[in-house]
A and B are shown apart, each in its own frame.
Chain A
């Protein structure tokens, strides 16, 4: 079971602000999903290696040659608040 406090802790880690109704719903929905997920707890997985990637690849290399990249103007085109050739954000301690 996931309680209200855990939901608030995880929401803070995930940079999400949840309303009161969302917190209650999230607690019950996540608990239901995790109940199902926890069925893998029944499996004997001792000595089984984890898989993070399924295609056998190692050291995909390329020559380290400079090439054109996005121009500053292009990179800033979609920014919500560009200023002085950069991305403007609110102060971390407003």
Chain B
């Protein structure tokens, strides 16, 4: 019975709760028990079964929260040893909105430290395992949230996306992940990585679930002056075919791009066929600067991170490394002990790019490339409604496969970074299964669909119709994450 409850989509559970044939506590406890014994290392904090009660629109359903969101009185680490034991004095607006709507937190999910990574191997608390194959990564940085939803440890989750951190793990775990338009959801209480790019979003098993969660999350927040909500609101998807929708494909920024695995390319081509069969039109578009997205991103995001992470200095909260010496020595020792290798690398990169003599060549130039990318999308959307790409160039890779080569890891976000730089919404939905480049059992492949800013309702509507047409019904081996 409890296994069956964990197979329900959130919308399915809500329908049964509303009809009175399911108690929210049963659903919560089934997941809380699974979370308590999980073996994917997907959670850093776990709720007790039977804890708290809920109601309202989200029906008391359990939700997994990426450990980047501050939760009052509950440990919030951002995946970093520098925040081990930190109990924030306030709750992030996104989480508060979910609690107000009746959701219950079943756990806080593991992640790449400060959301910097594409494999979850950069967590200060050990890597998360992919429920499809425990020898492989779940993607990152919201890898714990993606593994939890795919592994049936939570019906849904929230994560954050700076350059692909919701969409790429959703793709590698065979679930749905949405990065909303920048500004749709408040960033207040979200541990900051790159403030001009960071955005909260849902990870779910269906597009409808993503829409339900998005609707609860969006809104202007006086505590985040960059938040604007979604002016037209969020409609639940209802569309059944793709008639009249033009899907743009940019040749150089699609399955033909360098480094795309053959299995991913073939799955993408099949998705284009499905789009045509469902009544959609596939049109050629050009995104001439999208291929430069990674270069611009790896200047802009580290530059912002180097400023945001200056606050971890051992004075007001978090770790202070023990030892003698003056104030500067304490700062340096604390930061060197508390930060992991990737975080140090990005702080170094960002500090270098902003340092005297290099600012114009790196940061200034990257911001101009960002303008070009914004213009590319605006131009493309004149001749199409949505743009499709593979979400990730590869299926889930083996643990350790890319950890010695930062650049190859960064290229995992090749297709997701440009949308982040342009601030537009993009969703990844499961498109099928494909064999990894090195052979082996088939693994999930994601399809990314991007829309103009604030067109979430249209994006979700089309993604829903496409989801029905693709009919992806594969799941990780039953009980994959259970201890």
Contacts and interface: CB of A to CB of B under 8 A. Distances in A.
A32 B358 CA distance: 17
Nearest to B300: A52
Contacts of A37: 295, 298-299, 362, 366
Given A48-B368, A51-B367, A13 B351 contact: yes
B402 interface: no
A53 B87 contact: no
Contacts of B319: 80
Interface stretch (B30-38, B249-257, B330-338): B330-338
A52 B410 contact: no
Interface of A: 2, 6-7, 9-11, 13-18, 22, 26, 29-30, 32-34, 36-41, 43, 45, 48-55, 57, 60, 62, 70, 74-75, 77-81, 87, 89-94
Interface residues of B, number: 71
Which of A38, A48, A49 has its CB near the most chain B CB atoms (within 10 A)?
Answer: A48
B315 A79 contact: yes
Nearest to B352: A10
B296 A75 contact: no
Contact of A17 (B332, B349, B370): B332
Contact of B365 (A15, A45, A53, A74): A45
Nearest to B330: A90
Contact of A40 (B181, B292, B310): B292
Interface string B175-198: 000000111000000000000100
B371 A48 contact: yes
A81 B333 contact: no
A21 B319 CA distance: 24
A32 B369 contact: no
A92 B407 contact: no
B215 interface: no
B370 A50 contact: yes
B369 to A, nearest CB: 5
Contact of A78 (B318, B324, B328, B341): B318
B365 A41 contact: yes
B364 interface: yes
Contacts of B181: 55
Interface string B82-97: 0000111110000000
B430 to A, nearest CB: 28
A80 B368 contact: no
A15 B332 CA distance: 5
Interface of B: 86-90, 181-183, 196, 222, 225-226, 228, 289, 292, 294-296, 298-299, 306, 310, 313-320, 324-333, 335-336, 339, 341, 344-345, 347-349, 351-352, 355, 361-362, 364-372, 374, 406-407, 410, 421-423, 453
> At the interface, is chain A mostly helix, strand, loop or mixed?
loop
20 contacts: A2-B352, A13-B351, A14-B347, A15-B328, A15-B332, A16-B332, A16-B344, A33-B349, A36-B407, A39-B295, A45-B369, A53-B226, A55-B183, A55-B423, A70-B90, A79-B316, A80-B315, A89-B315, A90-B326, A94-B329
A89 to B, nearest CB: 6
A19 B296 CA distance: 29
Contacts of A89: 315, 327, 330
Given A54-B423, A78-B87, A80-B314, A13 B370 contact: no
Q: 7 smallest A-B Cβ distances: which pairs?
A: A54-B423, A50-B367, A80-B320, A94-B326, A78-B317, A17-B332, A60-B225
Which of A9, A17, A81, A87 has its CB near the most chain B CB atoms (within 10 A)?
Answer: A17
A37 B341 CA distance: 20
B267 to A, nearest CB: 27
A94 B348 contact: no
B290 to A, nearest CB: 13
Given A15-B331, A80-B314, A93-B326, A51 B298 contact: no
A48 B345 CA distance: 29
A81 B315 CA distance: 8
Given A43-B292, A55-B453, A57-B228, A48 B372 contact: yes
Given A13-B351, A33-B410, A37-B299, A43 B326 contact: no
Given A40-B369, A49-B368, A92 B316 contact: no
B89 A77 contact: yes
A37 B297 CA distance: 9
A93 B325 CA distance: 8
A79 B317 contact: yes
A32 B330 CA distance: 31
A31 to B, nearest CB: 11
